[in-house]
Amino acid sequence: MKQYMLKRFFLLLALLLPLPVLAQSTATLPNTRVELLSETASPRPGQPFTVGIRMTPNKGWHVYWSHPGDSGMPTRAAWSAPATELRYPVPETYMVAGLMNHVYSHAATLLADITLPADASGKVPLSVKLDWLVCDDSICVPESASLTLPLIAGDGAADPAQAAHFAAARAAMPRALNEAATFASNNGRIRISIPLAGSADVTAAHFFAQSDDALLFAAPQTIRRTNTQLLVETDAVPGTNPANVPGLIRLDRAGGHVEGFTLIASPGPVPTGGVPLADAASTSAMAGAASLSTMAGFLPAFGLAILGGLLLNLMPCVFPILSLKALAIARAGHSEAAARMEALAYTAGVILITSALGLAAILIARAGAGAGWAFQLQDARVILILMLLMIAIAFNFAGLFEVNLGTANVGAKLTEKPGARGAFFTGALAAFVATPCTGPFMAGALGAALILPPAAGLAVFAGLGLGLALPFLALGFIPALRRRLPRPGPWMLSFRRILAIPMFLTALALAWVLGRQSGMEGLMLGLLVALVVACGLWWLGLRQQGGRAVALPIALALLAALVGAATLARLPEPGATRASTAFPTTPFTAEALARSLAEKRPTFLYFTADWCLTCKVNEQGALASPDVAGAFKAANIHVIVADWTRPDPAIAKFLAERQRAGIPLYLFYAPDGTVTELPQLLSVDMLTALASKG
């Protein structure tokens, strides 16, 4: 879908330095034309004069206001003489994929005041280095130009040829509001009162906030007016308490005239009431656009999440649990109603866990800390608990002990416990152990979930759970599928024990991740705790066979796990790990990527983590191939590795800007600035072909 082609690299690409344009006052780039203009050709030394930067994006493209909104980057200017900050004309709104951007889709002139040195004389060329971001609805491209305007020190007389242009540029600028504006927040809403007489001919309005802590940019704005005021109401940013609200109110008046007022609203009373603007449809249309954009982003993300969840059933830590639960329901010979009840309970357990993890990821991301799918695996304590859980499941499958809930007589095996309660907890377990994986279809879906409105984002994570639960749900509701399962018999006991092997292997892989995260001390601590837990489970099995109480060995195992997790948190963090590849790599930083791109060097950027199964498959396969190493060396490809094994705000921010919630992610930057995103499963042929194009 087009919405998922959105390529936002704002923080990193803002630093990109393309090849400079030769000294001139006009530059035509692939997506933008820029001009440097002066109100006078003979500025007076020591006296300020006004210059303009006229930016004309190509049709379908846009550049950004001083505050870009949910995404984007303002234009930056570095002058050869002292200059004021750029002044921007009144912007437009641009909504795409649930993001509200503040832009210019047509020609716009930015103004600044320049002051030449008081002793300047003769020719005084004025130069400026410009950097900006230009985007359409699917991709963003950083552009840059160096412009020079030939001037001669003189009397400062205005250039008649430029008079009309600068008059129009000043008319497009917002004016300062003469009276004080106020705002109030309550129940997640923010209301702004803007003194404005003579608003009868205002057909539409929009408030452009210039801070990130006041209102949600993409939320619909309700605009009402009284005889003396314009009232704006919209959703507030959760958990913030702004001291003031700076911004600009854009007014669209009858006849097509547009004007704007800058203001800083202070806390104070905001009147209620008022009537909608004359063209109420204009305001509701904006809300409708946001709603349609959200729906357009939600539906594909929800569908991809279901497909991604379905594929998670093939993971080595999920498949054994699903298999045994499926065989158990077939062996039990439940009634149709009971089979459906177990299927629904299993589904509820899965969806509860994926939704809970999704809610945590959304809240962390909204708080600015950055998060994604499997974010909890960046904590070594979670890795330890998950490793111990895998060991316990493996020993249970192997027959060392049985899972009891209270006494030795009421329990049954974890995956075979009859009834809805057992199915519910089995589903919850399957969802939790599946979190290290981000497979095909999931990446874009979960990335969109983090930028959609919270309710829609949470629904996407629930869709992931639905996909994960679909096979068992189908078994519960389609009797023909259950009849196709093998007939119960003694072979099931052997099969159950065989399935302990992938669980032990999963525990071993988690031990390796623990060592990579916490060093040798952390690994040895984890193995010691695992030994204590294993002894506790062995003791548990012996007491079960004798019909005795099992509380003591269970308490021992739980105590060992808790003490181990608490001790692990106190260990010093080891140095960064390095990915296993056949070629030299550079650790990811925004500066490293920007420097590589500025040198016009082909760059391969990939994201990995020790807990990411797909990442490790690629690193031991295609990325470890000598053929790939040779091709990359021949093409002089710079390889940058972003290791997300432990939390890294810079990596989280980059992924969020690309609407990604998980890894792996593979990006190839060609010397001409084009970016190619590779599939999550790499091949040698794919990488060597990529190198040949570099």
pLDDT over 50 at 308, yes or no: yes
Q: 45-67, pLDDT tens digit by residue?
A: 999 999 999 999 999 899 999 99
| 346 within a domain of the structure (yes/no) | yes
In the predicted model, what is the mean pLDDT of residues 239-256?
89
For residues 399-422, average pLDDT: 53
> 335 and 260 in one domain?
no
Percent of residues in the chain assigned helix, strand, coil, to nearest 5: 45, 20, 35
Residue 282 pLDDT greater than 60, yes or no? no
- In this predicted structure, the answer to whether residue 369 has a pLDDT above a threshold of 70 is no
286 is a domain residue? no
Same domain, 128 and 204: no
| Predicted pLDDT of residue 451 | 55
Task: Spell out the SS3 assignment of 15-35.
Answer: CCCCCCCCCCCEEECCCEEEE
Same domain, 547 and 620: no
pLDDT value at 2 more than 70: no
- Whether residue 60 is contained in a domain is answered as yes
Write out pLDDT tens, residues 193-214. Answer: 998 877 777 888 999 999 988 9
In a shared domain, residues 475 and 331: yes
Q: 557 and 623 share a domain?
A: no
pLDDT of residue 515: 79
219 and 245 share a domain?
yes
Is the predicted pLDDT of residue 332 greater than 60, yes or no?
no
- Residue 148 or residue 338, greater confidence: 148
Average pLDDT (241-254) is 91
Top pLDDT among 358 and 218 is at: 218
> Please, are residues 500 and 395 in contact by the beta-carbon 8 Å criterion?
yes
Q: Are residues 50 and 114 in the same domain?
A: yes
Closest CA to 607 of 649, 574, 654, 671: 654
Q: Report the pLDDT value the prediction gives residue 15, as an integer from 0 to 100.
A: 36
Residue 576 lies in a domain: no
User: Which 8-state DSSP code applies to residue 246?
Assistant: E
pLDDT of residue 78: 94
We report the CATH number of the domain holding residue 664 as 3.40.30.10
Select from 535, 568, 601 the last residue of a domain: 568
Q: Identify the pLDDT of residue 283.
A: 40
Q: Quick one: average pLDDT of 239-249?
A: 91
Domain stop point among 172, 192, 225:
172
To 5 degrees, how large is the angle CA 683–CA 688–CA 690?
A: 95
pLDDT of 653 above 90: no
> What are the tokens at 644?
């997300």
The one-letter amino acid at 377:
L
Handedness of CA 348, 352, 353, 355 (dihedral sign): positive
pLDDT of residue 403: 63
Residues 452 and 391 in one domain: yes
- Examine the domain organization and report whether 163 and 193 are in the same domain: no
Q: Of 222, 250, 278, which residue is a domain's last? A: 278
Gap between the Cα atoms of 664 and 605, Å rounded: 11
More reliable by pLDDT, 330 or 144: 144
Q: CA-based angle 388:397:509, to the nearest 5?
A: 40
Residue 190 reports pLDDT greater than 70: yes
Domain of 243: which CATH number?
2.60.40
Do residues 117 and 193 share a domain?
no
Amino acid letter at 44? R
Find the range with the poorest average confidence among 302-311, 439-448, 466-475, 582-591. 439-448
Q: What SS3 string covers 378-425?
A: HCHHHHHHHHHHHHHHHHHHHCCCCCCCCCCCCCCCCCCCCHHHHHHH
Instruction: Output the DSSP codes for 533-565.
Output: HHHHHHHHHHHHHTT---HHHHHHHHHHHHHHH
Q: Give the pLDDT score at 327.
A: 64
The answer to the question of residue 534 being in a domain is yes
Q: Residue 328 has which token pair?
A: 């158990």
Identify the CATH number of the domain in which residue 22 sits: 2.60.40.1250
User: Could you tell me if 349 and 441 lie in one domain?
Assistant: yes
* Segment 547-570, tens digit of pLDDT: 777 777 788 788 887 887 778 767
> How confident is the model over 281-301, as a mean pLDDT?
49
Whether 580 maps to a domain, the answer reads no
Average pLDDT over residues 304-330: 72
| Residue of 586 and 383 predicted with greater confidence | 586
> What pLDDT is attached to residue 453?
67
What's the pLDDT band for 658 if we cut at 50, 70, 90?
Answer: low
Say if residue 251 is in the same domain as residue 329.
no
By the 10 Å C-beta count (0-12 exposed, 13-18 middle, 19+ buried), 314 is classed as exposed
Of 393-397, 425-429, 441-445, 635-639, the least confident = 441-445
Q: What is the mean pLDDT of residues 340-349?
A: 87
- The total number of structural domains that make up the chain: 4
Range of the domain at 254: 182-278
Non-local CB neighbours of 87 within 8 Å, separated by 6+ positions: 110, 111, 112, 173
Q: Is the pLDDT of residue 405 over 70?
A: no
Domain presence at residue 574: no
Average model confidence (pLDDT) for the chain?
A: 79
Q: Let me know if residue 80 belongs to a domain.
A: yes
